[in-house]
Amino acid sequence: MLLARLLEEKLANLYRAGKINGGVFLGKGQEALSASLGMALKKGDIFAPLIRDQAGRLAFGEDILDAVRTYLGSKLGPMRGREGNVHRGLPREGRYAMISHLGAMISAVCGGLMARRFQGQTGVVGATCVGDGCSSTGAFHEALNLAAVEKLPLVLVVANNQFAYSTPNDREFACKNLVDRAIGYGIEGHTVDATELDACLDVVGRAVERAREGRGPQMVVATLLRLAGHGEHDDAAYIPEALKNSPTGRDCLKVAECTLMERGWASAADLEAWREETLQQVEEAVATVQREPAPDPAEETWCALSTQELDDTFRA
């Protein structure tokens, strides 16, 4: 959580300094939920993150350099300098590259799970995280219905951060809680307060286990507030102060740090030392990547990154 937070703060600074082309999207406030998902998955599983899942990506094994290289356009990164920010992945490690269209990754994960089933692989879980905005799309419905009918081991985490960009929940859907939809699809649904790391580890962890045990798709609806704009180009002026000051507006990282201290698992000095170490890790990664070359358009192989030739040779 800390690494994701500090890495993204650095990326936001680089964006403001004009060093990043394209947008920068922060998962500030979503780290507990995202990290819990990344931690619950095992090697061999599928994970399709969304824009606010830096913490989950790291927990599922992404190298911090892969993130920095993609944002800074280094040709040594998994996307070889062709992508500006979050649409990176490494399919052979089960890390799917994100499609921007809301909800589109649910189908991609269902496809991956069907493929594993046809190959006779068992015990595999496929997970993806979407926003509340995604839940109003046709892609969401089609994919979830298919997953339910096929009883796929899919874990769908819906991060309800109260807004779809600037559209508030009451203009997005009319049901009481998005988890109510699970009943309509015939799948199991769970809710969690995503400001509490403990609760996220428990609820998301159990959902992943249930999917692995063959109980079919699991939907987790998490409540939180996005502690940033949709992207760094958005000042989020539409988020009311009262909501920011409510329990939903708590910062999960601060809550987790307080819990660690209350339980005597870490002291204030430990937390400070972790912060310093992590900051140094981020600074070193950025300094390394800033010295790396951009792709040379005349010399590149412009075939799709998902081809075996390019996927298999990445850090082979």
Ligand X SMILES: Cc1ncc(C[n+]2csc(CCOP(=O)(O)OP(=O)(O)O)c2C)c(N)n1
Instruction: State in angstroms the smallest separation of the CB of 30 from ligand X.
Output: 8
CB 128 within 8 A of CB 48: yes
Q: Which residue stretch of 6-14, 69-77, 130-138, 272-280 sits at the interface with ligand X (rule: CB under 6 A)?
A: 130-138
Residues 227-266 that bind ligand X (CB under 6 A): 230
Q: Is 102 in the site for ligand X (CB under 6 A)?
A: yes
From 134, 148, 252, 253, residue interacting with ligand X (rule: CB under 6 A): 134
306 to 54, 72, 88, 309: CA distances (angstroms):
21, 21, 11, 8
Judged by CB, which is closer to ligand X: 101, or 254? 101
Which segment (60-68, 90-98, 99-107, 192-200) binds ligand X by CB under 6 A? 99-107
- In order, the DSSP letters of 126-137 are EEEEEETGGGGS
Residue of 249, 185, 186, 255 whose CA lies nearest to 223: 249
Closest CB to ligand X among residues 204, 224: 224
Stretch of 39-47, 62-70, 88-96, 97-105 lying at the interface with ligand X (CB under 6 A): 97-105
Which CB, 81 or 133, lies closer to ligand X?
Answer: 133
Residue 307, C-beta contacts closer than 8 angstroms, at least 6 positions apart: none
Cβ atoms of residues 207 and 200 within 8 Å: no
If one asks whether residue 28 binds ligand X (CB under 6 A), the answer comes out as no
Residue 263 CB partners (closer than 8 Å, separation 6+)? none
Q: Nearer to ligand X by C-beta: 70 or 160?
A: 160
The whole-angstrom distance between residue 68's C-alpha and the CA centroid of its chain comes to: 16
Is residue 73 close enough to count as binding ligand X by CB under 6 A? no
CB count, 10 Å around CB of 26? 25
Residue 100 is a binding residue for ligand X (CB under 6 A): yes
Name the minimum Å distance from CB 258 to ligand X. 25
CA 1 – CA 239 distance, rounded (Å): 23
Distance in Å, CB of 237 to ligand X, minimum: 14
Backbone dihedral angles phi then psi of residue 158, each to the nearest 5 degrees: -105, 110
Q: State how far the Cα of 222 lies from the Cα of 229, in Å rounded to an integer.
A: 18
Q: Is residue 137 near ligand X by the rule CB under 6 A?
A: yes
Comparing CB distances to ligand X, the nearer of 102 and 253 is 102
Residues 6+ apart with CB under 8 A from 294: 73, 74, 75, 81
What is the total count of residues that contact ligand X (CB under 6 A)?
Answer: 14
Choice from 132, 196, 232, 257 touching ligand X (CB under 6 A): 132
> Which residue matches tokens 């428990």?
202
Of 7-15, 132-140, 266-274, 294-302, the segment contacting ligand X by CB under 6 A is: 132-140
Q: Which residue of 165, 214, 243, 307 would you call a contact of ligand X, by CB under 6 A?
A: 165
Q: Which of 16, 42, 92, 101 binds ligand X (CB under 6 A)?
A: 101
Please give the span between the terminal C-alpha atoms of the chain, in angstroms, as a whole number: 28
| Residues in contact with ligand X by the rule CB under 6 A | 100-102, 131-134, 137, 161, 163-165, 226, 230
